[in-house]
Structure 1
């Protein structure tokens, strides 16, 4: 167990001895009045890699010099550009390269996967998910079910939190899965919850679902680039994710998709497009869809090369940092230090903060979500005035996510310092 100290010198010592500290220089940190902000909002939008501009300029130059021939010529022809992202993506999510592909946007990919894996038959028509999962996922499930002529109120089985608790218990999820086994056609939910920061028990859910003959998929928007994943080994059927959070691929960056190799040879039902057609025969322009092997066969339209260029450049940073296992080591210490400072504030000021995120490190990523007992928005705005960029969620939740690629221990310490100043000045108002 790590023993932390609440001091600036100690935080700077941790930074000086951090083997990954030089990666911060690879990112452009927003500034205010010439000073860098304490940016702890990578759970919403990751910072811009310095190499993103160069990557864009390279493809813009190819467009300028080659025009349409850019699809076939140059060091990285656009026709096969997605392949340059497959191996680094596979390492990030614990997959084989053919099982992953960058494409589309997250919710588009989720609909594609629902088309393939949601096959209601007989008594098995229901979908198991989380109550209060990310709204886009809720809307996708609701509308997709309606498009099949079914009633979401009858089909969607949502597992709620226990009264007064902030995160789901593995036993409860597995129990509902077991109880509903004869009615379930699919299990699909977040792998890491956006609001409370909990890592859901993906391996246990996949193992249980597989034993019951139910396909399972995960939305990894908040998990990819944040926590280690082993999708192939866990025998997950599919997964989808975005790239603009921890993968730092820019606002609206190209999303990603995982389909386990056991589904590649089967003629799975799918919505298809020209770009998912067998690459060797694509330009024959013939009728009858013949998919590319692997996850790439779920592609629809011509890929957006400029966003892909930024995505590829950002993935290179994960490769250079040594992958998720090494980044996870630093992430645990960064978030552990933030938790230590929050608990120190609670001890000295009558517990004004309640941690929503699970206390066990293996059950959370880098994000800590905390409820504020009084005037939470006032505190959030105060942090913003101090140059600390976090995320506010109604009614009284603050989310901070120190990302190991670019955040520092000193930045985390600055959060504790700001909280100390705020509550020291507020004692007369908050007699906790």
Structure 2
């Protein structure tokens, strides 16, 4: 652990004062917490991996579209500062920069579960010889439910065609060797490899490029669920050569509950006549309003759209992505490494006998999240979690026994990490 870390408020405040990204915190609304003296103060919010905080500029952006609606009616599709007809295009460049893609490879649309099904319509093409999908054991329920239903829809049995990749390292961590072994054993039967960018429970980050290369070598299509990776890690999706990816935007992208999700389709599929569920907004925009009977897909990810963009839902995403453009994903990652490293150092040096870090210790194998277990089992873990929440330290609980603490670099500080350690101290004294 770095010798430069110190468990003092003076040190944490000094680091925060020297942080070149410190001003971005002021662009977010921090939920208040009522202390024992009934005074309100900022909570210590570590739940950006579940729901990111609201950017202050969102209210104005949404109200502006409401005003255009009121003033222009249907003409808002063609008039106003950001005409609705092309609104999804106004987030395209910034979204592509966040995920490391070409602008034509990304689209903001729908939600994660819907986009996953739409992508599997095109990229899960099972045969009798190759019917299987590989996912990680303990995958997020969205992925498992979607995968099982797609397998059944194609007439196969998940008992045979759903292959779960078992973790082979302590605490549920999966090595690249385990993926290699699974593909060596089952690769000839696997139609689709579908893995996360970051595993939601453990916080492990996966090597997208290495997995894609391995999957393609075995003749598999490769896609990723980036729900916990987008806005968290520099992803380089285009260079990874993945066939597709999907994500939500309400976690690190701070776009609000149930926010519009996104999808990536590699440019090599841009003009491929892949099977897909078609909708009129995916039709070639140059002839869309001729209302012809034949579907002609727009090249690129836009061709997977079904319906016209939801303007009031896209406005918060546009605001958030503009913040990401100014902050820079690489600078955010640099700060994230320091914050998460400091949080881990505090746990290991102050509370190693009480807390166990589940997330990999190697910085390159994790993002802005530490998953933590409490010595003594689930009940003690739940008791600590409830104590933290009651004292304004907001993380989240994942069954069966994990507390997730996520220092998001746009608005979290070194002082927040120290506040977590001090809250653990308060809990330990109370039991």
Q: TM-score by structure 1 length?
A: 0.96
Q: Report the 3-state secondary structure (helix = DSSP H, G, I; strand = E; otherwise coil) of the residue aligned with 1:180.
A: helix
Supply the distance in 1 between the matched residues of 2:404 and 2:385 (Cα, whole angstroms).
Answer: 10
Q: Report the 3-state secondary structure (helix = DSSP H, G, I; strand = E; otherwise coil) of the residue aligned with 1:280.
A: coil
Change (3 A) 1:272 1:222: same
Comparing 337-346 with 254-263, which one deviates more in the overlay?
337-346
Partner of 2:21: 20
Supply the distance in 2 between the matched residues of 1:164 and 1:259 (Cα, whole angstroms).
Answer: 34
Where in structure 2 are the equivalents of 1:53-202 lying within 5 Å?
A: 53-162=59-168, 164-202=170-208
Supply the distance in 1 between the matched residues of 2:210 and 2:170 (Cα, whole angstroms).
Answer: 24
Partner of 2:315: 309
Q: Alpha-carbon deviation of 1:383?
A: 0.9
Q: Report the 3-state secondary structure (helix = DSSP H, G, I; strand = E; otherwise coil) of the residue aligned with 1:48.
A: coil
Candidates 373, 382, 390, aligned match of 2:387? 382
Q: Alpha-carbon deviation of 1:164?
A: 4.8
Q: Alpha-carbon deviation of 1:118?
A: 0.6
Q: Report the 3-state secondary structure (helix = DSSP H, G, I; strand = E; otherwise coil) of the residue aligned with 1:392.
A: strand
Partner of 1:429: none
Q: Report the 3-state secondary structure (helix = DSSP H, G, I; strand = E; otherwise coil) of the residue aligned with 1:168.
A: coil
Q: Alpha-carbon deviation of 1:420?
A: 1.9
Partner of 1:253: 259
- 1:417 has 2:422 as partner: yes
Q: Report the 3-state secondary structure (helix = DSSP H, G, I; strand = E; otherwise coil) of the residue aligned with 1:28.
A: coil
- 1:223 has 2:225 as partner: no
Q: Alpha-carbon deviation of 1:314?
A: 0.7
Supply the distance in 2 between the matched residues of 1:310 and 1:163 (Cα, whole angstroms).
Answer: 39
Structure 1 residues 293-352: Cα deviation after superposition (integer angstroms, max 9, x where no partner): 11011001122100101110110000011x2111000001111111011112334xxx12
Supply the distance in 2 between the matched residues of 1:85 and 1:47 (Cα, whole angstroms).
Answer: 19
Q: Report the 3-state secondary structure (helix = DSSP H, G, I; strand = E; otherwise coil) of the residue aligned with 2:253.
A: coil
Retained in 1: the 8 A contact 2:167–2:178?
Answer: no
- 1:39 has 2:51 as partner: no
Q: Report the 3-state secondary structure (helix = DSSP H, G, I; strand = E; otherwise coil) of the residue aligned with 2:338.
A: helix
Structure 1 residues 348-374: Cα deviation after superposition (integer angstroms, max 9, x where no partner): xxx121111000000000110011123
Partner of 1:395: 400
Retained in 2: the 8 A contact 1:345–1:419?
Answer: no
Supply the distance in 2 between the matched residues of 1:399 and 1:343 (Cα, whole angstroms).
Answer: 16
Supply the distance in 1 between the matched residues of 2:252 and 2:298 (Cα, whole angstroms).
Answer: 29
Q: Report the 3-state secondary structure (helix = DSSP H, G, I; strand = E; otherwise coil) of the residue aligned with 2:133.
A: strand
Q: Report the 3-state secondary structure (helix = DSSP H, G, I; strand = E; otherwise coil) of the residue aligned with 1:98.
A: helix
Q: Report the 3-state secondary structure (helix = DSSP H, G, I; strand = E; otherwise coil) of the residue aligned with 1:49.
A: coil
Q: Alpha-carbon deviation of 1:183?
A: 0.8
Retained in 1: the 8 A contact 2:126–2:154?
Answer: no
Q: Alpha-carbon deviation of 1:163?
A: 7.4
Partner of 2:37: none
Where in structure 2 are the equivalents of 1:328-407 lying within 5 Å?
A: 328-347=333-352, 351-374=353-376, 375-407=380-412
Unaligned runs of 5+ in 2: 35-39
Supply the distance in 2 between the matched residues of 1:203 and 1:279 (Cα, whole angstroms).
Answer: 32
Structure 1 residues 207-249: Cα deviation after superposition (integer angstroms, max 9, x where no partner): 1112222110000000000011011111010000000000000
Give the superposed CA RMSD. Answer: 1.2
Q: TM-score by structure 2 length?
A: 0.96
Q: Alpha-carbon deviation of 1:181?
A: 1.7
Q: Alpha-carbon deviation of 1:191?
A: 1.1
Q: Alpha-carbon deviation of 1:149?
A: 1.2
Q: Report the 3-state secondary structure (helix = DSSP H, G, I; strand = E; otherwise coil) of the residue aligned with 2:382.
A: helix
Supply the distance in 2 between the matched residues of 1:187 and 1:80 (Cα, whole angstroms).
Answer: 34
Retained in 2: the 8 A contact 1:278–1:297?
Answer: yes
Aligned residues: 422
Retained in 2: the 8 A contact 1:197–1:364?
Answer: yes
